[in-house]
Amino acid sequence: MKRSFNARRIVLPVLLALGASGACGQGYPDRPIRIIDGFPPGGAADYLARVLGPKLTASLGQPIVVENRSGAGGTIGAASVAKSPPDGYTLFMASLVAMTASESLYSKLPYDAVRDLAAVTRVASGMVTLVVHPSLPVRSVKELVALAKARPGELKFASGGVGSGNHLAGELFRLTTGIEVQHIAYKGGPAAATAVVTGECELAFMSTAAGLGQIKAGRVRAIAVTGATRDPALPQVPTVKESGYPAYEVPLDFGLFAPAGTPREVVARLHAEVGKALALADVQERFAVQGFVVAPSKPEELAAIVRADVTQWARVVKAAGIRAN
């Protein structure tokens, strides 16, 4: 009898715990969900989150609130999510380049992107476009490299800040081609784009989403895109790979993350609902307007991308001698 009593004492709490775990997934969500963006309003992550928000509100039955917590290359927003309760009510829409490079850029980062953030799904993939001021006498990567080597250190490339995706794309280009150019950091991508439009800087790497209007208006000239393939929004513009540098590639990926420890049932629900939203024609059309294609993934696939990108950008940051703090 004593043995039977002890068995019941052990089994009952286990069953209760399993039941609670299932209930957590079944009852989620029962209040509003926040999606944190680590950059100012109007950026790519902000746009993607706001397109998805109403779709998720409809499918999950709770309001989706997009909140911008900008600063320190997106790390303030990422840290706020990493330190949030792992209950699925605080999510992070991340630029993968910025998030993974931060691991090497900042010496005292208050979180670890691999350890403290749980991958939900990749959301979208876009391109970074290399643009120059129209007065610069170049129309190809080959001509730009030749000019930069003839005038070492004279040309300036603008970015949205130290450690931003467009800064890192430029540094990798500099290392790959062996040119010397000055990096000029601005407060955000729009300010960097303005610097090239006005001729304050000769070149920049900007997301196609941000630069498409300027390119079509002739205020800047696109000479290459940084992805593995050409951008459907700019089919006439070659890749850097095609232009003689096959090792160069910088995709512009965005993913959705939750705090580590978020119940698997909750992650699975979020993954499924975001996947349904990304399959909608109007979502795909709105992404395409800004130069993005939907790019859903399994959580484990996104986690693998994060690990690989952390390693890649660590090499670039070290080789370029970049430090954000």
pLDDT in tens, 246-267: 999 998 899 999 999 999 999 9
Cα–Cα distances in angstroms (integers) from residue 96 to residues 17, 273, 308, in the given order? 35, 21, 11
Task: Name the region of 308 (left: φ>0; alpha: ψ -120 to 50; beta: rest).
Answer: alpha
∠252-253-258 over CA atoms, to 5°?
Answer: 145
CATH code at position 104: 3.40.190.150
pLDDT band at 189 (very low <50, low <70, confident <90, very high): confident
Residue 30 near residue 61 (C-beta atoms within 8 A): no
Tell me which of 269 and 14 has the higher pLDDT: 269
Q: Is residue 4 part of a domain?
A: no
Q: Is residue 237 part of a domain?
A: no
Q: Which of 72-76, 104-108, 144-148, 230-234 has the highest mean pLDDT?
A: 144-148
Same domain, 285 and 152: no
By three-state DSSP, how is residue 94 classified?
Answer: strand
Q: Is residue 230 part of a domain?
A: no
Interatomic CA distance for residues 251 and 97, integer angstroms:
8
Identify the helix (H) or strand (E) that includes residue 185: strand 182-185
Domain that holds residue 194: 128-225
Interatomic CA distance for residues 322 and 100, integer angstroms:
14
Same domain, 197 and 301: no
Q: Is residue 177 part of a domain?
A: yes
Tell me which of 286 and 4 has the higher pLDDT: 286
Interatomic CA distance for residues 194 and 219, integer angstroms:
10
Same domain, 163 and 310: no
**What pLDDT, on the 0 to 100 scale, is given for residue 44?**
85
pLDDT band at 26 (very low <50, low <70, confident <90, very high): low
Same domain, 49 and 114: yes
Same domain, 275 and 299: yes
Which residue, 187, 209, 225, sits at the end of a domain?
225
Which residue, 189, 210, 225, sits at the end of a domain?
225
Identify the helix (H) or strand (E) that includes residue 176: helix 165-177
Same domain, 166 and 209: yes
Residue 132, pLDDT above cutoff 80: yes
| φ, ψ of residue 80 in degrees (nearest 5) | -65, -35
Q: For 53-67, 102-116, 160-174, 217-231, which range has the lowest pLDDT when averaged over its residues?
A: 160-174
Number of independent structural domains in the chain = 2
Mean pLDDT of the chain: 90
Q: Looking only at Cα atoms, what is the longest distance across the chain?
A: 92
CATH code at position 146: 3.40.190.10
Instruction: Name the β-bridge partners of 204.
Output: 131, 158
Q: Is residue 165 part of a domain?
A: yes
Same domain, 32 and 69: yes
Q: Is residue 212 part of a domain?
A: yes
Residue 18, pLDDT above cutoff 50: no
Q: Is residue 98 part of a domain?
A: yes
Residue 274 near residue 256 (C-beta atoms within 8 A): yes
Same domain, 156 and 259: no
Same domain, 122 and 132: no
Same domain, 100 and 148: no
Which residue, 207, 225, 243, sits at the end of a domain?
225
Same domain, 93 and 146: no
Same domain, 186 and 273: no
Interatomic CA distance for residues 186 and 193, integer angstroms:
9
Residue 82 near residue 258 (C-beta atoms within 8 A): no
Interatomic CA distance for residues 245 and 142, integer angstroms:
10
pTM of the model: 0.83
Q: Is residue 159 part of a domain?
A: yes
Cα–Cα distances in angstroms (integers) from residue 117 to residues 78, 240, 252, 270, in the given order? 9, 32, 19, 14
Residue 8, pLDDT above cutoff 60: no
pLDDT band at 70 (very low <50, low <70, confident <90, very high): confident
